[in-house]
Structure 1
């Protein structure tokens, strides 16, 4: 059993799969409380579903891409079985995780999107740094940046940990808080080997569209 907030079909708004039609499975619950969180409605509630129920609902969309998100998906241990079942079904599967929980047991066929929490998030102490040891070229690292201080902190981590040698690195501004053009200028000035990430779904449908 898993507690599910919603299952929906939309365009992927983030990561290197941006723009691709994707089924999203949003699990309920999260041990973090980031100041900019846009899915706080997934902290509680949800519907208890058997794995086969979830698989059936996903199949109705006949998707190629499936993303498991939250909340924090790994807060439910049965999420590992769901990820494996999705891979076994032949879907291209990605996992969006806060980086606070161990990713080492996630099926190796899954693309893991690891969100490294910055000081501005209010949850920097929750980063599980050992996760970096498990990343491969098919994974991605994401920094969500609140301000210049977050940017400088992320650049320091990028360089000292050589993160771009592990997998693609994404720098994303907090929507309506850090100007995206300003972030683009900083990235160009510092010649960073990162991808500027904007949240496509919010640009298309507005800020209140997390569950579109």
Structure 2
């Protein structure tokens, strides 16, 4: 758990408490938080809420790993909402996002082919998302871009909610991704990881 500047999504740039939960069923090729697979400490929901309160920040995000693998994640988010926090959920897209408190902003990371995990996307999630939610696709190259473009167009996602295309750090030039988006006039937003620009790609706890 740490206090930092939110690095992604439409909330990027805002101070945020990030609660990183342990465990993930996916093994994305470019994962930058592999330590979350196994590291961490057991805490009760009450202890988490108490520690969050100590930061004095109104914005909280549950992330991972895959936070929805933890059975306490959904009730924890509801408790944080009840306490008056603005709550974000960043999920890997392989777990059903149904049953999450409707006050929570769900940020779903749909896996592209180069991740090695596109076969594990939970596609019914796309029909559950609302305008207050967000969809993120991390792209490693042109093949991923073509795949993501097709998904956005076939599901008319740009008309339904904010969609973010993010380049894999160190693999896809953000300027190249910008050129493709502009060329195709896609209704998506280009996103770079702000925290990596500020503190570098190897720094943890930011």
Q: Does TM-score exceed 0.5, indicating one fold? A: yes
Deviation (angstroms), 1:164 = 1.2
CA deviation after TM superposition for structure 1 residue 210, in Å: 4.1
Match of 2:47 in 1: 53
Cα deviations by residue, 1:117-155 (Å, 9 ceiling, x for unpaired): 000000001000001111000000000000000000000
Structure 1 unaligned spans of 5+? 1-6
Q: Is 1:86 aligned with 2:80?
A: yes
Aligned to 1:3: none
- Residue matched to 2:173: 179
Q: Distance in 1 between matches of 2:117 and 2:205?
A: 23
Q: Which residue of 1 aligns with 2:71?
A: 77
8 A Cα contact 1:38 1:210, kept in partner: no
Show structure 1 runs of 4+ deviating over 2 A: none
**Residue 9 of structure 1 is aligned with which of 3, 6, 9?**
3
Deviation at 1:165, TM superposition (A): 1.9
Offset from partner CA, 1:9-59 (integer Å, 9 cap, x none): 000000000000000000000000000000000101310000110001000
SS in 2 for 1:172: strand
2:56 to 62, 66, 70: 62
Structural RMSD (CA) = 0.7
Displacement after TM superposition at 1:209 (Å): 2.4
2:26 pairs with 1:32: yes
Q: Which runs of 5+ in 2 are unaligned?
A: none
Q: Match for residue 152 of structure 1?
A: 146
How many equivalent pairs are there? 206
Match of 1:41 among 22, 35, 39: 35
Give the structure with the larger strand fraction: 1
Query: Normalising by structure 2, what TM-score?
Result: 0.99
TM-score of the aligned structures, taking structure 1 as reference length:
0.96
